[in-house]
């Protein structure tokens, strides 16, 4: 019940409190530029709309692709609305067609501005496709064409009426760039080496705009952020252990509450969107728990049942984390993880009143469970977290192990 209640509270808090900050920016509509604060969604895909406030205290308003010519967040990104031909061909290998030519659909969209100058570069992205566009001076914005398609290739020897499928690629964008955007120091080999990627295409456009005194007026700079963190972890487990579900009930026993120390480390991978607010993590952790208990048992000679438990394991949680930046120095985070428990030589020993052995339960499998946690991190280094775990069946599911934990972390990388 406690696990379900805390899980519900954490989920509700995540939905209601997760905030994205508003940052200084602008939008242009009908040729008029308006300075404002724009909600920074750290867009991975091209948006259809955006939220903004005229001042910090004003209400949140909305604008979209139909009433905005351009918007941007200062020193970070810009988007421009344009009606362009978008190739809607799939990029999923098993759904490719046999047509080399793109399937164009004219749409009004926000294009992310990568480079502007005498030649400008734009990109349009969704969950399923990425398309680049170019514009020379004030001419029409045109697509840079790249498409994968299938072709049938005959097996050898010829005329055996057998064929196999092969994936071919239409690299028309290379020829387009060489024909239309070719500076004297850019060779055909430079165009041939271009990958259909932001980095390669941006570099090509920057070189073109910088040669022959062409003006490079804007280039999006990708902020380099550390994507992997290494965190040392320690803490205390607060445990409750019971032996239940034995065949006749005469081995059932409650070890009560106890505690043990935990030691480990965490590797965290920041996901490249939403301003590093989402991450996945792996946290190998060692802990060791021992305890003993006694109770009256009329079916045992001496009418006393003694029990001792030894439980050592390496937990391997694999989870997801959401971080909320409260200030520049203080963060709140919420975790959820699936836990694998690798243990060996774990045992519950039952003895009679005189100490003679009655029976034993040994581990037979790798148990799993879940945990949810909430914590705070200060100065992007030191963290403190409270966790609650779902019940874990260990030692052949005869032993129910439940725990909460206080975890302290220190980021070293």
pLDDT in tens, 193-207: 999 999 999 999 988
pLDDT value, residue 261: 93
Average pLDDT, the chain: 86
pLDDT value, residue 15: 46
| pLDDT at 160 exceeding the cut of 60 | no
| pLDDT at 325 exceeding the cut of 90 | no
| pLDDT at 322 exceeding the cut of 90 | yes
pLDDT value, residue 352: 86
| pLDDT at 16 exceeding the cut of 50 | no
pLDDT in tens, 90-102: 888 888 999 999 9
Rounded to an integer, what distance in angstroms lies between the CA atom of residue 300 and that of residue 384?
Answer: 47
To the nearest 10°, the Cα dihedral for 162, 165, 166, 169? 130
pLDDT band at 18 (very low <50, low <70, confident <90, very high): very low
Tell me, yes or no, if the pTM score tops 0.75: no
Please give the average per-residue pLDDT across 285-303, as a whole number: 87
pLDDT band at 283 (very low <50, low <70, confident <90, very high): very high
Q: Which residues pair with 371 in a beta bridge?
A: 337, 389
pLDDT in tens, 71-84: 999 988 999 999 99
pLDDT value, residue 211: 81
pLDDT value, residue 163: 65
Please give the average per-residue pLDDT across 302-311, as a whole number: 86
pLDDT in tens, 115-140: 998 899 999 999 889 999 999 988 99
Exposed, middle or buried: residue 257 (CB in 10 Å: 0-12, 13-18, 19+)?
exposed
φ and ψ at 209, to 5 degrees? -70, -25
Exposed, middle or buried: residue 199 (CB in 10 Å: 0-12, 13-18, 19+)?
exposed
pLDDT value, residue 214: 63
């Amino acid at each position: 019940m406690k696990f379900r209640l805390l899980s519900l509270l954490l989920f509700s808090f995540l939905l209601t409190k997760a905030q994205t900050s508003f940052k200084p920016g602008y939008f242009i509509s009908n040729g008029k530029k308006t300075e404002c604060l724009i909600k920074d969604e750290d867009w991975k895909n091209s948006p259809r709309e955006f939220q903004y406030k005229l001042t910090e205290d004003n209400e949140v308003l909305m604008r979209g692709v139909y009433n905005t010519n351009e918007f941007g967040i200062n020193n970070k990104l810009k988007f421009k609305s344009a009606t362009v031909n978008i190739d809607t061909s799939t990029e999923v290998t098993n759904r490719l067609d046999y047509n080399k030519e793109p399937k164009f659909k004219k749409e009004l969209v926000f294009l992310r501005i990568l480079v502007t100058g005498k030649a400008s570069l734009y990109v349009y992205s969704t969950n399923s496709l990425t398309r680049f566009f170019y514009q020379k001076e004030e001419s029409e914005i045109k697509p840079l064409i790249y498409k994968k398609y299938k072709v049938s290739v005959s097996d050898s020897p010829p005329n055996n009426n057998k064929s196999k499928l092969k994936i071919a690629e239409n690299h028309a964008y290379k020829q387009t760039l060489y024909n239309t955007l070719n500076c004297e120091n850019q060779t055909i080999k430079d165009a041939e080496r271009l990958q259909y990627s932001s980095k390669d295409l941006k570099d090509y456009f920057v070189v073109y705009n910088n040669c022959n005194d062409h003006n490079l007026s804007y280039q999006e700079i990708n902020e380099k952020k550390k994507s992997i963190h290494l965190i040392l972890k320690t803490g205390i487990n607060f445990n409750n252990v019971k032996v239940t579900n034995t065949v006749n009930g005469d081995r059932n026993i409650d070890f009560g509450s106890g505690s043990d120390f935990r030691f480990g480390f965490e590797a965290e991978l920041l996901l490249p969107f939403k301003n590093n607010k989402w991450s996945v993590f792996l946290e190998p952790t060692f802990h060791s728990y021992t305890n003993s208990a006694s109770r009256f048992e009329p079916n045992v000679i001496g009418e006393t049942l003694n029990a001792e438990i030894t439980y050592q394991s390496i937990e391997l949680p694999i989870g997801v984390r959401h971080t909320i930046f409260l200030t520049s120095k203080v963060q709140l985070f919420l975790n959820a993880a699936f836990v694998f428990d690798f243990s060996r030589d774990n045992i519950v020993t039952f003895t009679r009143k005189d100490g003679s052995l009655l029976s034993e339960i040994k581990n037979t499998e790798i148990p799993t469970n879940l945990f949810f946690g909430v914590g705070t991190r200060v100065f992007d280094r030191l963290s403190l977290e409270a966790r609650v775990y779902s019940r874990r069946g260990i030692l052949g599911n005869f032993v129910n192990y439940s725990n909460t934990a206080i975890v302290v972390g220190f980021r070293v990388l």
